[in-house]
Structure 1
Amino acid sequence: MRKILDFAYKFAASLSALAIFTIALLMIGQSFMREIGISTGPINEIVSWLCATAAFSGMAYAFKQGDFVRVGLLLERLDKRQRRYGEIAALMIAVVACLYLAFWATSFTYESLLFNDIATGLLPMPLWIPQCAFVLGSWLFAIATIDECFIVFFGGEPSYVTAVRERHARGDFSSDL
């Protein structure tokens, strides 16, 4: 199960990176098209959907790698036992918040499908299609928080703590800036 979850997190992060790369290509292409007088059409709409895809697809992986702002300032000052309980409490709050987000993202997208919502811009696309990245990213983030909660609950060290320690051991403090 661990390999499947880690693969899912990395795959979603790869989709996020691909979305960012595609945004860059579209924006560069749009700049050239404007210079030579070609209409850029719905590129801005596509870029906005890709921004949402990039943000939500990468959340689970970023969380597992320790790239999210956490309650570390408080937890670092506690002894080992108190820190474990603090981590569990923080993770349980995160689980509830992420499940809430995922539920409502799913509901919102389902309503778009049910009511046949169509984008009103230059690209008349059913809105549920780009919203699927929001749903999948939200659910994967919820799964990642549940995953971490189980790891800590059963006595393990959180992945995000281990990942940050390993980066620091290599001399990489870039995420701390």
Structure 2
Amino acid sequence: MRRTLDALYDGCAWLAAVAMIGVLVMVLLSVLGRQLAFHLPGTDAYAGYSMAAAGFLALAHTLKRGEHIRVTLLLGKLGGRARQGMELWSLSVAVLLAGLFAWFSVRLVLQSIEFHDISTGNDATPLWIPQLAMALGTLMLLVALLDEWVLEARGQRSHSQGQETHHE
């Protein structure tokens, strides 16, 4: 199961990297178009779609690598069962919020398909396509947070990941 979950997180990270390349390609096409006097409609919109996809698809992988910003002022003062209790409470709130975000993201995709919603720009992209990356990213974040919750409950979660280093 661990290998499967890690492969899913890594797969989303790779998709995020591809989306970042998409941003680069769209920006380069836009710049070249201005320099060489040609215009490709929709490059700005596709750069935006790619940037959003990169951000959402990277969420789970970033969490699992301990790179999300955490405020550990209170946690640093706690130890043992108190720390685990606070971690579980924090993760429970995060799971709830991620679950709501995932629910509404998936719902948005389904509504966009149902209503044949398209972008208002000249690209006229069916909006469910770029929204799909957001839905996948939020679903994977929910899975990653549930994974962290289970690891914490079992006492298997590493607390050294993403901790601040203090330099004197």
The TM-score with structure 1 as length reference comes to: 0.88
Alignment of 1:156-167 (within 5 A): 156-158=156-158, 161-164=159-162
* Aligned residue type for 2:145: T
Q: Distance in 1 between matches of 2:39 and 2:110?
A: 33
* Matched residue, 2:73: 73
Stretches (4+) displaced over 6 A: none
Q: Distance in 2 between matches of 1:147 and 1:105?
A: 20
Q: Secondary structure at the match of 1:53?
A: helix
CA deviation vs aligned residue, 1:92-129 (integer Å, no higher than 9, x gap): 00000000000011111111111110111111121111
Cα displacement (A) at 1:40: 3.0
C-alpha root-mean-square deviation of aligned residues, in Å? 1.7
Q: Secondary structure at the match of 1:164?
A: coil
Cα displacement (A) at 1:25: 2.3
Structure 2 residue 36 is matched with structure 1 residue 36: yes
CA deviation vs aligned residue, 1:40-59 (integer Å, no higher than 9, x gap): 31100101110110010000
Alignment of 1:22-33 (within 5 A): 22-33=22-33
The TM-score with structure 2 as length reference comes to: 0.92
* Matched residue, 2:121: 121
Cα displacement (A) at 1:156: 1.2
* Matched residue, 2:55: 55
Q: Distance in 2 between matches of 1:125 and 1:25?
A: 18
